Amino acid sequence: MVPSPQVTVAPQERRAAPRRCLEAQITATSQSNFFCGFTEDMSEGGVFVATSRPPPIGELVHLSVRVGADQPVTVIGEVRWHRMDYNGNACGCGVQFVVLDPRAALLFQGLLARAGQAPLFVE
């Protein structure tokens, strides 16, 4: 029997950096998954990835984040929480960056500086 995904939500007050609106395509690989998704919600500390098959909470993922025609930025992150839809199905996950090389950090800072304030999301 496959265990059901753990459902947790990252409280707003635990964010270390403000979220920004930034549309990006994301591909990710982990020990158990390969998935593609997208985001409209990113910060210097992590990203929300909209996908119907998120990796398990706690799993490390290698992310490739592409904004528009820019070269993709590669980072390593940890899945911290899952978002569930109204039917109880997974529809995405929050990934906290754990390894971000200096080049990637500078690229993200530049992208986020140009991005707008993220809208509030009410669960």
Does 23 or 78 have the greater pLDDT score?
Answer: 78
Give the CATH number of the domain where residue 48 resides. Answer: 2.40.10.220
86 lies in some domain: yes
Per-residue pLDDT of 16-39, as tens digits, reads: 666 666 677 888 888 877 878 777
pLDDT tens string 39-76: 777 887 888 888 888 889 999 999 888 877 777 888 89
CA 56 to chain centre: 13
CB 48 within 8 A of CB 83: yes
Domain range for residue 35? 19-111
Residue 1 maps to a domain: no
pLDDT computed for residue 57 by the predictor: 93
Domain count, the chain: 1
Please give the model's pTM, rounded to 2 decimal places.
0.71
Q: What is the pLDDT of residue 117?
A: 53
Residue whose pair of structure tokens reads 């939500």 in the numeric block: 9
Tally the C-alpha atoms within 13 A of residue 82's C-alpha that lie toward its C-beta: 19
CA distance 47 to 25: 11
Express each pLDDT in 110-120 by its tens digit: 777 776 655 44
